[in-house]
Structure formats: C-alpha cells, structure tokens
C-alpha cells in the first residue's frame, strides 16, 4: 500500500533525505504494527563526506551503504545505541544513506512505550537511538530490503515544508546543510 519503491531511493542522497520527511516508517513485530511519520533525517555521502561511515571505503560495518538502495543500514554506537539508515544514492555514486533521526508515533504507541520504558509521548522516538529502541531495531535488521520486507518498510506520505540545518552529533563536515526537519 504505497510502499516507496527502489526507484525512490535510487536518487541523490540529499534529495531522498529531504523527501523522506512526511513519509511513514512502518515496522511489524509479529502481528503488531508500529508506525510513525518521519520528521527528521540526515544525508550521509561517500568520499565527499568525512562524517559518513562510508568515507574511506567499504568495511565490515558499512557494507550495506555500498549495496542496493532501499536497504536498511543499522549500526551500533556509543556502546548503547542503534541507529537506522536507509541506503539511498544515484547510480553515479558508490555509497550513501539517510539517517532517520526522529518519527512522530502513529500506530503501536503502547508497545513503543513498553520498549522504551517511558510514558512520555514526546520522548518516545525523538532521536535516532530512541527511535531504534521504540521500534526494536538492532543489527539483526542490518541489510533488510525495505522495498520488499514485511517487518520494516516505508510508505509514501504528504510532502511537507522542511527546515534545512547543519547535521548534529558530528565533528567533521559540519558545513554541509544535510539535516532535514519538519
């Protein structure tokens, strides 16, 4: 039902990051459906982007970033947290992805509260680590094809007005305006 196709992700990483705002991230755990509107993203490039995990070439951790667009790249960081990206790049570049930084929960809110062990709606999924915890995403989901998965995918939403800012939480390439937020 209006799932975003691979062609959506096979475009410039920055464009995809911007257009993902307003789309709906879907997650199915057993028979439970969780979803939320994507309200914050960041684009990560390749050898043009020192802040990207793909910078410097293919390694064990970043393999999905070099694979087909539309697949998930889920990594572990800071010793505690998982973060989810969708691989997105045009055919001219070898790697790139979009970090999904925040969603506004729509479905499965009770289950998200359980996963997060928090009751406050406002802090359920308003950050990349929180979002991954709310949706129970781990490296087990690394590499999933979101254009063809029944546990993790993205559906088309409304095109909404978007704020553009520098990326956060990074120390390199801070000049790039590759963060998009509702």
Q: Which stretch binds DNA (CB under 7 A): 21-29, 31-39, 156-164, 168-176?
A: 168-176
| Residue 53 in contact with DNA, rule: CB under 7 A | yes
| Residue 113 in contact with DNA, rule: CB under 7 A | no
| Residue 109 in contact with DNA, rule: CB under 7 A | no
Q: Cα separation of 73 and 61, whole Å?
A: 9
Q: Cα separation of 63 and 71, whole Å?
A: 11
CB atoms near residue 88 (< 10 Å): 27
Write each residue from 69 to 88 as x if it is in contact with DNA (CB under 7 A), else as -, in one continuous string: ----x--xxxxxx-x-x---
Min dist CB 77 to DNA, Å, is 5
| Residue 136 in contact with DNA, rule: CB under 7 A | no
Q: Which stretch binds DNA (CB under 7 A): 6-14, 31-39, 45-53, 142-150?
A: 45-53
User: Which residues, in sequence order, are CB contacts of 157 under 8 Å at separation 6+?
Assistant: 22, 23, 24, 37, 38
User: Which residues, in sequence order, are CB contacts of 24 under 8 Å at separation 6+?
Assistant: 35, 36, 37, 38, 106, 154, 155, 156, 157
| Residue 2 in contact with DNA, rule: CB under 7 A | no
Min dist CB 28 to DNA, Å, is 22
Q: What value does the CA radius of gyration of the chain take, rounded to a whole number of Å?
A: 15
Total chain residues near DNA (CB under 7 A): 40
| Residue 42 in contact with DNA, rule: CB under 7 A | yes
| Residue 178 in contact with DNA, rule: CB under 7 A | no
Label residue 161 exposed, middle or buried (CB < 10 Å: 0-12, 13-18, 19+). exposed
Binding site for DNA (CB under 7 A): 42, 44, 50-56, 59-61, 65, 73, 76-81, 83, 85, 97, 99, 101, 116, 118, 123, 127-131, 133, 167-172
């Amino acid at each position: 039902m209006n799932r975003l196709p691979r062609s959506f992700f096979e475009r410039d990483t920055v464009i995809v990051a911007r257009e993902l705002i307003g789309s709906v991230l879907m997650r199915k755990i057993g028979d439970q459906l969780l979803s939320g509107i994507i309200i914050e993203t960041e684009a990560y490039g390749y050898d043009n982007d020192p802040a990207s995990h793909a910078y410097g070439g293919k390694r064990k951790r970043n393999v999905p970033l070099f694979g087909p667009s539309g697949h998930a790249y889920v990594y572990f960081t800071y010793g505690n947290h998982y973060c989810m990206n969708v691989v997105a790049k045009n055919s001219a570049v070898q790697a790139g992805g979009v970090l999904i930084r925040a969603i506004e929960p729509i479905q499965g809110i009770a289950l998200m509260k359980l996963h997060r062990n928090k009751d406050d709606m406002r802090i359920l999924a308003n950050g990349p680590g929180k979002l991954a915890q709310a949706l129970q995403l781990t490296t087990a989901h690394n590499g999933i094809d979101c254009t063809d998965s029944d546990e993790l995918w993205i559906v088309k939403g409304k095109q909404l007005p978007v704020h553009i800012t520098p990326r956060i939480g990074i120390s390199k390439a801070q000049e790039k305006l590759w963060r998009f937020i509702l």
